[in-house]
Chains A and B, each alone.
Chain A
Amino acid sequence: MKGAKLFFDCLVKEGVEVMFGYPGGAVIDIFDELDNSPIRFILTRHEQGAAHAADGYARASGKVGVCIATSGPGGTNLVTGIATAYMDSIPMVAFTGQVPTSMIGNDAFQEADIVGITRPITKHNYLVTDVNELPGIIKEAFFLAGTGRCGPVLVDIPKDIQQAQTSMTYPNKAEIPGYSPVYTGHPKQIEQLAKAIKQASRPILYVGGGAVASGAAEELRKLVAKTSIPVTTTLMALGVFPETDPVSLGMLGMHGTKYANYAIMDSDLLIAVGARFDDRITGKISEFAPHAKVAHIDIDPTSLKKNVRVDIPVVGDVRRVLKDLNKIVKPGQIGPWLKQISQWKKKFPLTYESKGDIRPQYVIEQIHKMTGGRAIITTEVGQNQMWAAQFYTYTEPRTFLSSGGLGTMGYGLPAAIGAQVACPDRVVFDIAGDGSIQMNIQELTTAVTNSLPVKVAILNNGYLGMVRQWQELFYKKNYAGTVLVGNPDFVKLAEAYGAGGIRVTEKKEVVPALKKALKYPGPVLIDFRIAPEENVWPMVPAGVSIRQMMSGLA
Chain B
Amino acid sequence: MRHTISVLVENKFGVLARVAGLFSGRGFNITSLAVGETMDPAISRMTIVVDDQGSPQIMEQVEKQLNKLINVIKVQDFTGGESVDRELILIKVKTTTNTRSEILEIARIFRARVVDVSLHSVVLEITGAVDKINAILNLLTRFGVKELVRTGKIAIARS
Binding site for B on A (CB under 8 A): 115-116, 119-120, 123-124, 127, 129, 144, 176-179, 300-302, 305-306
Instruction: Assess whether A116 is in contact with B69, with CB atoms less than 8 Å apart.
Output: no
Contacts of A305 in B (CB 8 A): 60
Q: From A115, A119, A178, A302, give the contact of B10 (CB < 8 A).
A: A178
B60 (CB) vs chain A CBs: closest residue: A305
Instruction: Assess whether A301 is in contact with B17, with CB atoms less than 8 Å apart.
Output: no
Q: From A123, A127, A302, give the contact of B70 (CB < 8 A).
A: A123
Is B71 among interface residues, defined by CB-CB distance under 8 A? yes
Contacts of A179 in B (CB 8 A): 70
Contacts of A178 in B (CB 8 A): 9-10, 69-74
A126 (CB) vs chain B CBs: closest residue: B14
Closest 3 CB pairs of A and B: A302-B64, A178-B73, A124-B70
Instruction: Assess whether A119 is in contact with B18, with CB atoms less than 8 Å apart.
Output: yes
B62 (CB) vs chain A CBs: closest residue: A302
Contacts of B43 in A (CB 8 A): 177
Instruction: Assess whether A300 is in contact with B14, with CB atoms less than 8 Å apart.
Output: no
The contact size tier of chain B is 20 to 34
Q: From B21, B61, B73, give the contact of A119 (CB < 8 A).
A: B21
Instruction: Assess whether A306 is in contact with B18, with CB atoms less than 8 Å apart.
Output: no
How far apart are the CA atoms of A178 and B75 in the complex, in Å? 10
Instruction: Assess whether B68 is in contact with A177, with CB atoms less than 8 Å apart.
Output: no
Contacts of A300 in B (CB 8 A): 68
Is B67 among interface residues, defined by CB-CB distance under 8 A? yes
Q: How far in angstroms is the closest Cβ of chain B from A447? A: 36
Instruction: Assess whether B17 is in contact with A119, with CB atoms less than 8 Å apart.
Output: yes
How far apart are the CA atoms of A120 and B20 in the complex, in Å? 11
Q: From B9, B10, B64, give the contact of A301 (CB < 8 A).
A: B64
Task: Assess A120 versus B25: contact at CB under 8 Å? Given A178-B71, A178-B72, A300-B68.
Answer: yes
How far apart are the CA atoms of A123 and B18 in the complex, in Å? 11
B43 (CB) vs chain A CBs: closest residue: A177
Q: How far in angstroms is the closest Cβ of chain B from A149? A: 8
Is B101 among interface residues, defined by CB-CB distance under 8 A? no
Is B65 among interface residues, defined by CB-CB distance under 8 A? yes
- Further contacts, 13 of them, CB under 8 A, given A178-B10, A179-B70: A116-B17, A120-B25, A127-B13, A129-B13, A178-B9, A178-B72, A178-B73, A178-B74, A301-B64, A301-B68, A302-B64, A305-B60, A306-B61
Instruction: Assess whether B65 is in contact with A302, with CB atoms less than 8 Å apart.
Output: yes
Q: How far in angstroms is the closest Cβ of chain A from B9? A: 8
How far apart are the CA atoms of A366 and B136 in the complex, in Å? 80
Q: How far in angstroms is the closest Cβ of chain A from B107? A: 43
Instruction: Assess whether A120 is in contact with B21, with CB atoms less than 8 Å apart.
Output: yes
Q: How far in angstroms is the closest Cβ of chain B from A41? A: 29
How far apart are the CA atoms of A120 and B69 in the complex, in Å? 11
B12 (CB) vs chain A CBs: closest residue: A126
How far apart are the CA atoms of A134 and B64 in the complex, in Å? 30
A176 (CB) vs chain B CBs: closest residue: B70
Q: How far in angstroms is the closest Cβ of chain B from A161? A: 15
Contacts of A124 in B (CB 8 A): 70
Task: Assess A177 versus B73: contact at CB under 8 Å? Given A300-B68, A302-B65, A302-B68.
Answer: yes
How far apart are the CA atoms of A177 and B12 in the complex, in Å? 13
Instruction: Assess whether A302 is in contact with B61, with CB atoms less than 8 Å apart.
Output: yes
How far apart are the CA atoms of A176 and B73 in the complex, in Å? 9
How far apart are the CA atoms of A300 and B18 in the complex, in Å? 18
**23 A-B residue pairs with CB within 8 Å:** A115-B14, A119-B18, A119-B21, A120-B25, A123-B70, A124-B70, A129-B13, A144-B70, A177-B10, A177-B43, A177-B73, A178-B10, A178-B69, A178-B71, A178-B72, A178-B73, A178-B74, A179-B70, A300-B68, A301-B64, A301-B67, A302-B61, A302-B67
Q: How far in angstroms is the closest Cβ of chain B from A278? A: 15
Q: How far in angstroms is the closest Cβ of chain A from B74? A: 8
Q: How far in angstroms is the closest Cβ of chain B from A7? A: 21
Q: How far in angstroms is the closest Cβ of chain B from A5? A: 26
Q: How far in angstroms is the closest Cβ of chain B from A296? A: 14
Contacts of B72 in A (CB 8 A): 178
How far apart are the CA atoms of A115 and B17 in the complex, in Å? 11
Q: How far in angstroms is the closest Cβ of chain A from B28? A: 15
Contacts of B25 in A (CB 8 A): 120
How far apart are the CA atoms of A302 and B57 in the complex, in Å? 12
Contacts of B70 in A (CB 8 A): 123-124, 144, 176, 178-179
List B52-102 residues whose CB lies under 8 Å from chain A.
60-61, 64-65, 67-74
